[in-house]
Amino acid sequence: MPWSPEAPFNDLPPLPPEGIDLEPKPVLKATVEARTALATLAQAGQLLPNPNILIHAVPLLEAQASSEIENIVTTADELFMHVESGGGDHATKEALRYRNALFAGVESIRNRPLTSSTAARICSELQGREIAVRAVPGTRIANPTTRQVVYAPPEGADLIGEKLSAWERFIHAEDDLDPLVRMAVAHYQFEAIHPFHDGNGRTGRVINILMLIEAGLLHDPILYLSRAIIARKNDYYRLLRAVTAEDAWIEWIIYMLDVVRESATSTTRKIGAIRTCQDDIAERARDATPGGRDAQFLEVLFDQPYCRIGAVASRCDVSRQTASSWLHALVVAGLLSDVKVGRERLFVNHEFLDVLTRAE
């Protein structure tokens, strides 16, 4: 039966797609370029004195961008300001839950393989409550402008469970398919199954990162994939639909490989900018305060753009008074500014924040 956007796609075929070569020459070329960019990123990350900079910052930026794809809009500034308190407006809290979901997913695959249960845990973290697969029929995905239905996912909890089981078998299949191509194909399938009532897009984009970690192409979640998707958001949705309607797998796979390459390249450039910023601030901090010669103090200034007195006191094993004097000396020197958020005073490393949030 031909596909219709109005009818539940209960006949969604399992993976791999029958009769389609998923790795023709254009895909192989794009795969090599993406792998090269990932290897360069891995090398650049090892050159950072404190790799936690990326582990702390990139998931927040990814959270902001992935949420923005779903029209949940906050700013990186708001996220960094509220990351420890969990406060902020509704959109900020939603994006912070994305970061928590990403970390929960990474923790999960360190101990067990990626499965549909992992996906449910991720979606539950995103929603802030326990989530199970859709049981109620009637889910329709519409164009947000025209309200025209563009897709109806499979219906019925048992059928969705079967589709997810087949998806699991594909992502762990022992064949020669490149892991990057597998990620692209599996991402389409997960979005087409649309197993949950809400949060499928964000869950699927977390799974992309987890698949790369599980395949050994990343060690930590330091790839900023969703920003590249936002830059070509219309293509993202258009190509997803084209796979459903026309079996246009190759265009979709190349798009996702290009997203990986662009993301890895821009993150590598960002690492270079972070190192330059670190060196510059370290040199100026040494002239501004005795704390500027403390390696732990310089490190904590780059854990997050918003620094707390308690964090400095704990990491540097000094009194709160000493930590406060070091931070205030950097404010006087123009390296930091201080802001009051609720009852707490935060010290903002604006140069670092600018490096993190600007496009590279």
- pTM score over 0.75: yes
Predicted pLDDT at 147:
87
Binning the chain into helix, strand and coil, the percentages to the nearest 5 are 65, 5, 30
- Which fold, 27-269? Fic-like fold (1.10.3290)
Mean pLDDT of 278-284: 93
Cα 30 to Cα 262: distance, rounded to the nearest angstrom: 11
**Range from 15-29, 132-146, 256-270 carrying the lowest mean pLDDT:** 132-146
Predicted pLDDT at 73:
58
Q: 10 Å Cβ neighbour count for 317?
A: 9
Cα 180 to Cα 30: distance, rounded to the nearest angstrom: 10
Predicted pLDDT at 72:
65
Percent of the chain with pLDDT over 70: 97
Torsion angle in degrees (nearest 10) through CA of 231, 103, 88, 346:
-100
Higher pLDDT, 66 or 305: 305
CA neighbor of 65 nearest in space, from 303, 256, 228: 228
Helix crossing, 233-246 with 179-193: angle to 10°?
80
Grade residue 49 by pLDDT with cuts at 50, 70 and 90: confident
HSE (side-chain half, CA atoms, 13 Å) at 352: 27
Cα 44 to Cα 21: distance, rounded to the nearest angstrom: 34
Domain spans, the chain: 27-269, 289-357
Is residue 76 scored above 80 in pLDDT?
no
- Which fold, 289-357? Arc Repressor Mutant, subunit A (1.10.10)
Element of type H or E holding 353: helix 350-357
Predicted pLDDT at 26:
98
Average pLDDT of every residue of the chain: 90
DSSP 44-74: HHHTSS-THHHHHHHHHHHHHHHHHHTT---
Cα 306 to Cα 312: distance, rounded to the nearest angstrom: 11
Q: 10 Å Cβ neighbour count for 302?
A: 24
Predicted pLDDT at 109:
96
Predicted pLDDT at 95:
79
Mean pLDDT of 54-68: 75
Q: What is the pLDDT of residues 206-234, one digit of tens each?
A: 999 999 999 999 988 888 888 888 888 89
Q: Is the dihedral of CA 302, 303, 306, 307 positive or negative?
A: negative
Beta-carbon contacts of residue 357 (< 8 Å; ≥ 6 apart): 61, 76, 77
Grade residue 40 by pLDDT with cuts at 50, 70 and 90: very high
**DSSP-assigned beta bridge partners for residue 337:** 348
* Amino acid in the structure at residue 245: A
Is residue 316 scored above 80 in pLDDT?
yes
> What's the token pair of residue 113?
């393989």
Predicted pLDDT at 286:
92
